[in-house]
């Protein structure tokens, strides 16, 4: 039967498309329902990929203006062609989404275009068509979290989606929320000339990250021109004839102040998206934050219905969604599949980058786990000195008794790539000594990881 499948996945983001591809590779007949006119979900269309294209282009623009001269490269002051920069970003989206289309064809996965709803276990409705499915995977992802009373028009009051499309550089950009997305997009527009103010409800940006990293990173961002209003909340955004008036109050109460802004970016997080699925009808349970409840095998309370990615609990990250999608596909095809939630890296793609995996010092202290910490600054790393990219450090936390690595935290140029070696080490349950004894190419930023490992129980060479 044309409409009978082993697996129907709803949502073609990283969780859904990787689940579909792996399942097809393992021999299942797969269809993916996606309502966007392009595959790849939030990540490829309005998330990871476009934001990284804008971060890359804006960083080079900034470098050309600020650092080239010191390196003996004499070029006229760079001029921004924002329309072309946005086209560069759109090309990145196009190339990546078409890549997924190609992979679907290659693996004989049918893309069923439209909004999918679950009519009953084993039945997915898309328009006038009903797909029969031995198993259904919900991978419908997440949506922007809204701030009550602040209406997003995607023109002057924008979500991350609108912030990737601004047709001119705002004079003043006010970012609500000091999380990863706000800091990344704040960096983009800051490098292109906006004055950036971040209002964060908590007393620190990047909640959940290692405290020492956050302190240092805040200092670096301030040096780059960011202003922070911490422990503060936005209570009102009013449109004026020209610009916006933003009312900010101390989170713990006190006098309000009114700030001017040309654009306000609302980036206070994301919420699980299950709209239109008809979960009530089939009785799939959600938690109080609207996330679909699943067991360790990604199964919901209804037989034959599973969920992965942003729509379930856990960090809202593309690679977490991908791992879940693949592990579930393996299980559905009769193989072993699992996700190691203790070793999921997180990266902030600013300049310098911030990357971490495993536990922070605060988490270890709270859990009463004794640890040794080894730290090495990039100011003492030859490559960083040569490139004048000395901001930041590598910190390794290892169990006091066994020396097993429990967490790695890095601020530095290329931290998002450096963290991969910490992921490998932690997956293999390495000790800090294992890393300290490895031969690392010289001169590289990676040597700072080895030196941090050397300092866990002894002394680094270059300090």
Ligand X SMILES: Cc1cc2nc3c(=O)[nH]c(=O)nc-3n(C[C@H](O)[C@H](O)[C@H](O)COP(=O)(O)OP(=O)(O)OC[C@H]3O[C@@H](n4cnc5c(N)ncnc54)[C@H](O)[C@@H]3O)c2cc1C
Say what angle helices 82-106 and 14-25 make with each other, to 10 degrees: 30
Cβ neighbours of residue 220 closer than 8 Å, sequence gap 6 or more: 352, 391, 392, 411
Q: Cα-flanking dihedrals φ and ψ of residue 260, to 5°? A: -90, 145
Q: Which residues contact 366 (CB under 8 A, 6 or more apart)?
A: none
| Residue 70, Ramachandran bin (φ over 0: left; ψ between -120 and 50: alpha; else beta) | alpha
Q: How far is CA 451 from the centre of its chain?
A: 28
**% helix, strand, coil for the chain, step of 5:** 35, 25, 40
Shortest distance (Å) from residue 118 CB to ligand X: 9
Tokens matching residue 85: 């920069």
3-state helix/strand/coil string of 149-172 = CCCCCCCCEECHHHHCCCCCCCCE
Crossing angle between the packed helical segments 82-106 and 48-66, to the nearest 10 degrees: 140
List phi, psi (to 5°) of 37.
Answer: -85, 5
Between residues 140 and 431, which has the closer beta carbon with respect to ligand X?
140
Instruction: Write the CA distances from 314 to 19, 193, 209, 318, 416, integer angstroms.
Output: 17, 35, 15, 11, 20
As a whole number of angstroms, the distance between CA 8 and CA 236 comes to: 43
Least Å distance between CB 347 and ligand X?
7
Bridging pattern class, strands 195-200 and 172-176: parallel
- Only one residue has tokens 């009013």, namely 238
Q: Which of 62, 409, 442, 462 is catalytic?
A: 442
- Residue 139 near residue 9, CB atoms below 8 Å: yes
Q: Are 424 and 343 within 8 A, CB to CB?
A: no
442 labelled catalytic: yes
Task: Give whichever of 184 and 403 is closer to ligand X, judged by the CB atom.
Answer: 184
Quick check: 30 and 20 in contact, CB under 8 A?
Answer: yes
Task: Identify whether 294 is preceded by a cis peptide bond (ω within 30 of 0).
Answer: no
Instruction: Lay out the sheet containing 172-176: strands in order across.
Output: 157-158, 263-266, 172-176, 195-200, 227-230
CA-CA distances (angstroms) from residue 120 to 9, 278, 294, 305, 442?
A: 15, 9, 18, 10, 60
Query: Could you tell me the smallest distance in angstroms from the CB atom of residue 266 to ligand X?
Result: 12
Using CB under 6 A as the criterion, which residues of the chain lie in contact with ligand X when the complex forms?
Answer: 10-16, 33-36, 41-43, 46-48, 51, 115-116, 139-142, 160, 181, 273, 276-277, 309-311, 316-319, 321, 349
Give the Å distances, CA to CA, from 105 to 20, 30, 308: 12, 11, 23
Q: Which residues pair with 388 in a beta bridge?
A: none
Tokens of 47: 């998330």
Active site residues: 442
């Amino acid at each position: 039967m044309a409409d009978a499948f082993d697996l129907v996945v709803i949502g073609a983001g990283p969780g859904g498309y990787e689940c579909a591809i792996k399942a097809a590779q393992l021999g299942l007949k797969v269809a993916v329902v996606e309502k966007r006119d392009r595959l790849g979900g939030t990540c490829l269309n309005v998330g990871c990929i476009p934001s990284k294209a804008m971060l890359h282009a804006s960083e080079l623009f900034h470098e050309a203006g600020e650092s080239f001269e010191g390196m003996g490269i004499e070029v006229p002051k760079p001029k921004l062609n924002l329309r072309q920069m946005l086209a560069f970003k759109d090309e990145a989206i196009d190339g990546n989404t078409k890549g997924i289309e190609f992979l679907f064809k290659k693996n004989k996965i049918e893309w069923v275009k439209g909004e999918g709803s679950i009519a009953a276990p084993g039945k997915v409705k898309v328009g006038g068509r009903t797909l029969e499915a031995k198993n259904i995977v919900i991978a419908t992802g997440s949506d922007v979290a809204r701030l009550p009373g602040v209406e997003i028009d995607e023109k002057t009051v924008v979500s991350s989606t609108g912030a990737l499309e601004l047709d001119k550089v705002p004079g003043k950009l006010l970012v609500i929320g000091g999380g990863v997305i706000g800091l990344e997009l704040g960096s983009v527009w800051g490098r292109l000339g906006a004055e950036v103010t971040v209002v964060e409800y908590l007393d620190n940006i990047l909640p959940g990250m290692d405290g020492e990293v956050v302190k240092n990173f805040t200092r670096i961002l301030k040096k780059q021109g960011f202003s922070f209003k911490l422990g503060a909340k936005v209570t009102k955004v009013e449109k004026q004839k020209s610009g916006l008036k933003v009312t900010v109050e101390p989170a713990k109460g006190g006098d309000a102040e009114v700030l001017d802004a040309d654009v306000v970016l609302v980036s206070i997080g994301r919420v699980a998206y299950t709209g239109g699925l008809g979960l009530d009808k089939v009785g799939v349970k959600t938690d109080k934050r609207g996330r679909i409840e699943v067991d360790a095998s990604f199964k919901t309370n209804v037989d034959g219905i599973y969920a992965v990615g942003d729509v379930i609990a856990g960090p809202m990250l593309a690679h977490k969604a991908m791992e879940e999608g693949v592990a579930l596909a393996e299980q559905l095809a009769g193989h072993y599949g699992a996700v190691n939630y203790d070793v999921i890296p997180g990266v902030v793609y600013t300049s310098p980058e911030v990357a971490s995996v495993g536990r922070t010092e605060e988490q270890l202290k709270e859990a009463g786990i004794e640890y040794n910490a080894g730290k090495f600054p990039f100011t003492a790393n030859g490559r960083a000195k040569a490139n004048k990219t000395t901001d930041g450090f590598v910190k390794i936390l290892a169990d006091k008794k066994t020396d097993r690595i429990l967490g790695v935290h890095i601020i530095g140029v290329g931290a998002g790539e450096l963290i991969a070696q910490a992921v490998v080490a932690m997956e293999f349950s390495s000790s800090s000594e294992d890393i300290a004894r490895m031969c690392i190419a010289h001169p590289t930023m990676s040597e700072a990881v080895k030196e941090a490992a050397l300092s866990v129980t002894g002394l680094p060479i270059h300090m």
